[in-house]
Chains A and B, each alone.
Chain A
Amino acid sequence: SAVISQKPSRDICQRGTSLTIQCQVDSQVTMMFWYRQQPGQSLTLIATANQGSEATYESGFVIDKFPISRPNLTFSTLTVSNLSPEDSSIYLCSVGEGGLDQPQHFGDGTRLSIL
């Protein structure tokens, strides 16, 4: 299965700043996803990162707040913009092998805290 490296593993940021999270995969993958996991909560899909086109955002998530890039089939970035305390969470990248009848493989996440 794919090996996913996510950076940084954690960060503490000031309000109003932005953080960019990187997700690198060791093989070419079709599907890449970004999730948020708040403490004690389930994973919530932010968006699907599409190679060569704009990401597909879920309800409640907008491009201005969570811009995503996917320049190729092995790499994606998620930026969390204009940080506020409500953005304190774990952000996870995952990759899929195809359809929803296939498993997803996750990075270890980025733990973000806002001062």
Chain B
Amino acid sequence: SQKIEQNSEALNIQEGKTATLTCNYTNYSPAYLQWYRQDPGRGPVFLLLIRENEKEKRKERLKVTFDTTLKQSLFHITASQPADSATYLCALDSSYKLIFGSGTRLLVRP
């Protein structure tokens, strides 16, 4: 069956450290993978998109990798700040729509 898996346990890290979130998928062949941030009571906000032929994409303190062999994307936040605390969702394209993972909650301690 098709699955997108993100760690359901919250990731708790110290301010200044690098946060690494994982998105694994099974039985999909996405051409694109997207990452979104969602704060409580708010809709998801787009962060980054990476294509299947791109190994890595960066935007300021954010970095995304995409390994189509491992069927995995990693999302990194360097020099993390308490304001980075949120739930992070990955999403991939399947046919004509986006399929979302259930998200990983990140907590950055001051």
Contact = CB atoms under 8 A, between A and B. Distances in A.
Contacts of A109: 41-43
Contacts of A43: 44, 89, 100
Residue among A48, A58, A106 with max Cβ neighbours from chain B (10 Å): A106
Interface residues of B, number: 21
A17 B46 CA distance: 34
Contact of B103 (A42, A92, A107): A42
B97 to A, nearest CB: 5
B89 A45 contact: no
Contacts of A44: 100
Interface string B75-105: 0000000000000010001001110111100
B46 A103 contact: yes
B55 to A, nearest CB: 17
A105 interface: yes
A53 interface: no
Contact of A106 (B32, B45, B93): B45
B96 to A, nearest CB: 7
A42 B100 contact: yes
B97 A45 contact: yes
Nearest to B39: A108
B74 interface: no
A90 to B, nearest CB: 9
Nearest to A109: B43
A42 B89 contact: yes
Contacts of B4: 42
B43 A107 contact: yes
A106 B98 CA distance: 13
Contacts of A1: 46
A44 B96 CA distance: 14
A106 B4 CA distance: 21
7 contacts: A42-B102, A48-B97, A101-B32, A101-B49, A102-B49, A104-B46, A107-B43
Given A94-B43, A100-B31, A106-B45, 7 more contacts: A4-B43, A41-B102, A42-B100, A43-B89, A44-B100, A103-B34, A108-B41
The 4 closest A-B pairs by CB, nearest first: A106-B43, A103-B46, A100-B93, A42-B102
